[in-house]
Amino acid sequence: MRYRVRHRTTYTYDAPVANSYGLAYVIPRPLPFQRVDSAEVRIVPEPSDLRRDDDHFGNVVTYFQVTAPHTELVVESESVVDVRAPVLDPEALATPWEAARPLQRPDLPDSWRAVDLALPSTLVDQTEQAREYAARSLQPGRPIGEAVTELMHRIHADFDYRKGATTVTSRIDEVFSVRAGVCQDFAHLTLACLRSHGLAARYVSGYLATSPPPGKERVVGADATHAWAAVWLPDGSWLAVDPTNDQWLNNRYVTVAWGRDYKDVPPVKGIIFTEARGSTLAVSVDVAPVV
């Protein structure tokens, strides 16, 4: 599938901002199953500094600084990508999950790259509740592909998708308490469950192409950013699962960035210098197939 992705973030302030520094994770990653044909980031007002780099995880990050006084800041990206479903080795998926723990198997391919993704992170605590919840799926000797897929099914069935039930800083205990959340929460929960048993798992941000209901037209700008999880396999590849939609990654997903949790790869983050007391945020996302 070929998509044109447009992502627009608008900040409006009730007093002038003298200086803005920002980082944007809005450009898709080049991957074996994803080709980025074009990618552009535009900032309004025009920044005094705008550059692109790769971070620790290899994500494409855009740095900008706006020094002109402003009461509105717009970060807009447009990309064209070709995506296909990832192809995984059946032997790696059939490996007992216990043999895919990088901290215990430093001999495996690229295990050193996965080690920090098996540890707790700022928003993903390895709680006892998460460990016990995952244990039902991670039975001794069970193939990792089968075990992780069942865990995904269970999270999808046991937790309700409900906006407002949590916040961007909600922790694992809170998600268990309310039994609800959004894609970010379900990705974090998956990470907590897997990491609590020594598996390496990463938080992935991106987009999911959606289709309108039968008989309805596409509503431009009505899509949203999305998040899912990926677990490290013993051959060095990654199995990406989406507990929000109860499915493996396929050609409807556009991968942007990954890290330890949401805090590593929010779409936009930064610092402003201002006396403003209030601000508003508006986000518009459109993922449209290119014929």
- Amino acid in the structure at residue 104: Q
36-45, 164-173, 246-255, 256-265: range with lowest mean pLDDT: 164-173
Annotated domain spans of the chain: 2-83+266-289, 90-264
In this predicted structure, the answer to whether residue 215 has a pLDDT above a threshold of 70 is no
Model pTM score: 0.94
C-alpha span between 180 and 167 (Å, rounded): 11
* CB 191, CB 263: distance < 8 Å: no
The residue-averaged pLDDT of 279-285 equals 95
What's the rounded Cα separation, in Å, for the pair 22 and 19? 10
Q: Which residue has the higher pLDDT, 291 or 247?
A: 247
Query: Is residue 238 predicted with pLDDT exceeding 90?
Result: yes
Q: What is the pLDDT of residue 217?
A: 63
Q: What is the pLDDT of residue 265?
A: 97
pLDDT band (50, 70, 90) for residue 213: low
Q: Among the listed ranges 80-89, 98-107, 217-226, which one has the minimum average pLDDT value? A: 217-226
Cα separation, 185 vs 169, whole angstroms: 9
Topology of domain 90-264, CATH: C8orf32 fold (3.10.620)
pLDDT at position 221 is 46
CB of 260 closer than 8 Å to CB of 202: yes
- pLDDT beyond 60 at 159: yes
Judged against a pLDDT cut of 70, whether residue 90 lies above it is answered with yes
The CATH fold assigned to 2-83+266-289 is Immunoglobulin-like (2.60.40)
Cis peptide before 45 (omega within 30 of 0): yes
Count Cβ atoms below 10 Å from residue 115 Cβ, excluding itself: 14
Q: State yes or no: pLDDT of 220 exceeds 60.
A: no
Average pLDDT over residues 164-178: 93
The CA-based dihedral angle spanning residues 92, 137, 202, 287, taken in that order and rounded to the nearest 10 degrees: 90
